[in-house]
């Protein structure tokens, strides 16, 4: 099988079998095409040749990584992950005898604390939409739901009407890797969704998706990001706020109120507890701030 054909087959595998998101598949395709183009230009391989066990060498891949030294560490780590996953797939398919990325170390990544808002700042943001238009009702319902359920923006725009049970106060969410979880929503989010469905949804021409644009089509993630930024400029000038900020607020405020880490992990849909543990650092930073403000000998 030719090298280009192998890559095409792998990209299909990511979407059809592993069910990764279109954005993730696109990132893998972009990174791997960059790798193959580098090897072609450097003379390490020909993309038109048949794949063989000697085609990829560790020295070639080290050269590729060295060429990316000016890029951010996160970018280099992502590209190496794409290559590692691609070669692992080729090994599983019997097209390579061994994975040439074995033994290559990814750049060490420092874990930065996620940005989040105080409860008062969240209240200001949630009050920003004007409720005298169908779009305003929709936008407030979206903001309330992002904060109430800690959804990723992709999960939010993928909600269908049938995924929401307002009688019980739960929604069905399809997360990363097509993993389904059931998440509770608070009374404010429930009331906002009810008002949107009663007075805004039909006027926007909605039929299947919960959140739609002015033509009745499903909202895009970019559209949600844009109006969150718009409301943040009005309610919280100078603060950089994205839909993911509200997810961080959801987790941080739960932990600050005494929720246990395992429950927050399940609500967020994290497959690993280590991913959720970043919020323990946020909580620790909050506790340190409280300590410095309250203890007479802290300063």
Q: Which domains does the chain have, with CATH numbers?
A: 3-92 (1.10.150), 119-293 (1.10.443.10)
Q: Over range 156-174, report the average pLDDT.
A: 95
Q: What is the mean pLDDT of the chain?
A: 88
Measured between its terminal Cα atoms, the distance across the chain in Å is 68
Phi, psi values for residue 28, rounded to 5°: -60, -45
Q: How far is CA 195 from CA 134, 161, 191, 201, in A?
A: 10, 14, 6, 9
In the set 19, 270, 283, 286, the catalytic residue is 270
Coil/strand/helix, residue 293:
helix
Q: Over range 161-175, report the average pLDDT.
A: 94
- Asked whether the predicted pLDDT for residue 98 surpasses 90, the reply is no
Known catalytic membership, residue 247? yes
DSSP strands (E only) in 32-178: 164-165, 170-174
In the set 176, 203, 218, 286, the catalytic residue is 176
- Asked whether the predicted pLDDT for residue 109 surpasses 70, the reply is no
Known catalytic membership, residue 270? yes
Residue of 181 and 97 predicted with greater confidence: 181
Q: Over range 40-45, report the average pLDDT.
A: 86
Q: What confidence category does residue 113 fall into, taking pLDDT thresholds of 50, 70 and 90? A: low
- Asked whether the predicted pLDDT for residue 261 surpasses 70, the reply is yes
Q: What is the pLDDT of residue 282?
A: 65
Known catalytic membership, residue 279? yes
Q: Over range 42-69, report the average pLDDT.
A: 81
Known catalytic membership, residue 84? no
CB 230 within 8 A of CB 148: no
* Alpha-carbon torsion, ordered 285, 265, 155, 200, to 10 deg: -70
Task: Calculate helix-pair angle for 73-92, 22-42, nearest 10 degrees.
Answer: 90
In the set 152, 190, 248, 253, the catalytic residue is 152
Residue of 46 and 226 predicted with greater confidence: 226
In the set 79, 138, 190, 244, the catalytic residue is 244
Known catalytic membership, residue 244? yes
Report which secondary-structure segment, H or E, holds 180.
strand 180-184
Q: How far is CA 99 from CA 12, 77, 87, 102, in A?
A: 20, 17, 6, 6
Distance of alpha carbon 175 from the chain centroid: 9
Q: What confidence category does residue 52 fall into, taking pLDDT thresholds of 50, 70 and 90? A: low
- Asked whether the predicted pLDDT for residue 156 surpasses 60, the reply is yes
The span from the CA of 211 to the CA of 234, in Å, is 22
Q: Over range 5-10, report the average pLDDT.
A: 90
Q: Over range 2-31, report the average pLDDT.
A: 89
In the set 138, 247, 248, 253, the catalytic residue is 247
- Asked whether the predicted pLDDT for residue 126 surpasses 60, the reply is yes
Q: What is the pLDDT of residue 268?
A: 92
Q: What is the pLDDT of residue 107?
A: 66
In the set 28, 201, 231, 279, the catalytic residue is 279
Closest CA to 278 of 236, 233, 248: 248
Task: With 0.75 as the threshold, say if the pTM is over it.
Answer: no
Q: What is the pLDDT of residue 110?
A: 55
Burial of 201: CB neighbours in 10 Å, binned 0-12, 13-18, 19+: buried
């Amino acid at each position: 099988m030719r090298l280009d054909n192998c890559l095409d087959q792998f990209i299909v595998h990511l979407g059809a079998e592993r069910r990764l998101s279109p954005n993730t598949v696109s990132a893998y395709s972009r990174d791997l095409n960059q790798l193959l183009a580098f090897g072609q230009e450097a003379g390490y391989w020909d993309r038109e040749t048949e794949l063989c066990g000697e085609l990829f060498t560790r020295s070639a891949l080290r050269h590729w990584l060295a060429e990316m030294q000016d890029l951010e560490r996160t970018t280099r780590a992502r590209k190496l992950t794409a290559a590692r996953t691609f070669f692992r797939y080729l090994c599983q398919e019997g097209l390579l005898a061994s994975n040439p990325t074995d033994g290559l170390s990814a750049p060490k990544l420092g874990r930065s604390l996620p940005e989040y808002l105080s409860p008062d700042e969240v209240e200001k943001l949630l009050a920003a939409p004007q409720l005298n238009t169908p779009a305003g009702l929709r936008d407030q319902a979206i903001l309330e739901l992002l904060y109430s359920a800690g959804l990723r923006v992709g999960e939010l725009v993928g909600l269908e009407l049938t995924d929401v049970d307002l009688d019980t106060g739960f929604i069905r969410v399809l997360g990363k890797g097509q993993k389904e979880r059931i998440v509770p929503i608070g009374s404010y989010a429930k009331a906002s969704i009810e008002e949107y469905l009663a007075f805004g949804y039909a006027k926007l021409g909605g039929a299947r998706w919960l959140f739609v644009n002015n033509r009745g089509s499903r909202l895009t993630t970019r559209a949600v990001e844009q109006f969150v930024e718009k409301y943040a400029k009005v309610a919280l000038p100078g603060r950089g706020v994205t839909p993911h900020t509200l997810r961080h607020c959801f987790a941080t405020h739960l932990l600050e109120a005494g929720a246990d880490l395992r429950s927050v992990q399940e609500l967020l849909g994290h497959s690993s507890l280590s991913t959720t543990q970043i919020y323990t650092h946020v909580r620790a930073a909050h506790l340190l701030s409280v300590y410095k403000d309250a203890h007479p000998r802290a300063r």
